[in-house]
Amino acid sequence: MERLQKVIAESGLTSRRKAEELITEGKVKVNGEIVTELGTKVSSKDRVEVNGKPIEKEQKEYYILNKPRGVVTTTQDEHHRKTVVDFIPTKARIYPVGRLDYDTTGVLLLTNDGEFANILMHPNDKVEKVYMAKINGIIKGEQINKLKDGVEIDDQKVQATRVKLKKVNEKANTCMVQITIHEGKNHQVKKMFESVGFQVEKLKREKVAFFDLKDLQSGEFRKLTPKEVARVYALEQKENSH
């Protein structure tokens, strides 16, 4: 027996959080009856319908993509721009785990496993996101400390775990800064630098948890190994055991 929201998420239809919303909104039926109770458990014999359509079990697929610039992090785009899903030839309904801006490049995971996505998107100490930012101007120790102590963006305090000045170009008045964060709010890194007086000119995500780009060129992808998938699920166990 498994929780209803988990079964819906595992069908590849949507994330677990969205599945919970669908349940509380009365859009889910089990064996023909509307169910709004979140803790409801179902077995593989139960017929589950979402918005009047039965859900099907889908084979889980997991990918890592080196996202290029000028590509949108979504499954479809109303302006017919290229999306991250277009890079991966699969019939599965995969979707990106979290977001990268249109002009941001680097590590992006895609899957049809709602629980896997949730573990990586949920802000916790085990899932670090490492970015390399090219910013205008030369950052000083005082501003680096501010980013580490915490800055306010969109009425919320966020902080960097680590900030390292990697390279300085005096002539162009720019520098390269590596910044590590745990959350993944919209435009977070750009807004954090803005809060201490810098514009981000280029941004690349180098790492999410233990996933990095290794030999993947821009636009290239690979499937995750079963071992890598298991390591992600182990992160949740660690978090729950605290």
Mapping DSSP to helix (H, G, I), strand (E, B) and coil, where does residue 228 land? helix
Active-site residue (options: 46, 77, 101, 212): 101
First to last CA, the chain: 26
Long-range contacts: 48-52, Cβ < 8 Å, 24+? 48/4, 48/7, 48/8, 50/8, 50/13, 50/22, 51/22, 51/27
Q: Is 129:208 a contact under the CB 8 Å cutoff?
A: yes
Distance CA(169)–CA(204), nearest Å, equals 18
Residue 101 a catalytic site member: yes
SS3 label, residue 83: strand
* Closest to 22 (Cα-Cα) out of 45, 40, 46, 44: 40
Number of H helices, E strands in the chain: 6, 17
Q: How far is CA 79 from CA 74, 82, 196, in A?
A: 12, 9, 34
Instruction: Give the SS3 label for residue 179.
Output: strand
As annotated, the active-site residues are: 101
